[in-house]
Copies of this chain bind each other. A is one copy, B any other.
Amino acid sequence: MAELTERQRLILALIIREYIETAQPVGSESLQKRYQLDASPATIRNDMAALTEAGYLRQPHTSAGRVPTEEGYRYFVRQLMGHIDLPADTKRTITHQFYQVGYDPDRWMRLAASVLAQQAKAASLVTAPHVEQARFKHLELISTRGRQVLMVLVLAGGDVRQQMLTLAEPVTQEQLSAAANHLNQLLSGLAPEAISALTTPLDVLEQDLVRLIVEELRHASQLLGSEVYRDGLTHVLSQPEFSESESARKALRILEERPLLEDLLTRTLETTNVGGVQVLIGGEGTWEELRDCSMVLARYGAPGLATGALGVLGPIRMAYGRSISTVRFVAGLLSDLVVELHSE
C-alpha cells in the first residue's frame, strides 16, 4: 500500500469531518465546493479512488459518495487529527462545576458522567474509583439488635464499606467497642496481606472480625465491584445509525450488562496508564457486541492507590476529536480529585 500524498491525507480528513457532521456519503463535487479546494472534482475523484484502494474509504453503492471505513477512522485518529483540546472556557466551566458540588465522590461521578455525555453528545459511563491496594484505616462496630452488628469499615482514602453481621452469641456494645479499639490500633494502615500475616494473639470475636475485614479489603480491590454511573443514553438514540431499534439495543446492552462491560473495561484498560486514552473503533475484531459502536475510554485516579475508568460510547461515526479531548480532560480532573483524596 503506497504512502498517501499530502492532498490525499487532506481529502481523507475532510471526508471524515464532513461525514461525521452529516452522516451522508461524501461526493467529489460537493467536497470541492464546500471547502473551496484548488483541485477539480476529477482530481479529487482520483484521490478518492486511491484512498478506497488503500482501504480507508468505501462506497455504500456504485454510485454514492464515499464513506470512511473503520481503518479510515483509525488512520484519522492516529495520524490526521492531531492533538485537540477543549476550549479554555469550557474547561474552566467544567472545573468550576466540580468544585461547586463540594466534597462528595458520589456526586463527582454523577457530574463526570453528565459532563462527558453533554460534551461528547454520546452515552457515557464512569466507574467509581476502586482502591488498587486497599488499606485498613478505621473500624466501627455498632450493636443493633440481639446478635446483629453493623460493621463500618473505613479504608485509607475515605472509602466507607458497611456490612451487617450476625454473631454466634450476643455481645454488648462495650465489648464491641473494645474490640474495635484494639483492632484499630493493631491494623492501622495495613493491607490485607499484612493483616493475614499478623501473629498477635486475638480472641474469638476479633479473629472473626479480622477474617471479615480481610475479605472486605480484598473485595474492595476488584474493578467494577462498586457502582457504574451512566448518562446520556438518549444521545445514542438520536444518532441515525441507531434509528432502528435493533442496533440501538445492541449499543445499550453494552452499557447495561455488567459482565460485558467488566470484560471490556478490564481487557482494554489493563494496559492503559492513567492519563492515556484508548479508542475502540467498531469492536476491533474482538467484541462482537461493539461492532457498530466506538468507545473512547480512559483510566483515571492515583496510580497504585485508587483508579477508575470512564468513557463514552457512540456510533463509529463519532466526533473523535471532541470525545477524546473531553474524556482526557475529565479523566484528568477526576484524577486530581482522587489524588487529593488519598494524599494524607
Contacts and interface: CB of A to CB of B under 8 A. Distances in A.
B243 A238 contact: no
A231 interface: yes
Interface in A221-244: 231-234, 237-238, 242-244
Nearest to A164: B103
A104 interface: yes
A256 interface: yes
A267 interface: no
Contact of A140 (B140, B231, B233): B140
Contacts of A249: 234, 237-238
A195 interface: no
A62 interface: no
A242 B150 CA distance: 45
A183 interface: no
A252 B148 CA distance: 41
B256 A233 contact: yes
Given A140-B152, A142-B138, A164-B158, A252 B233 contact: yes
A144 interface: yes
Interface in A135-160: 137-138, 140, 142, 144-145, 148, 150, 152, 154, 158, 160
Contacts of A158: 144, 150, 162, 164
A112 B245 CA distance: 26
B237 A248 contact: yes
Nearest to A138: B142
Nearest to A244: B243
Nearest to A157: B144
A137 B142 contact: yes
A33 interface: no
A253 interface: yes
A242 to B, nearest CB: 6
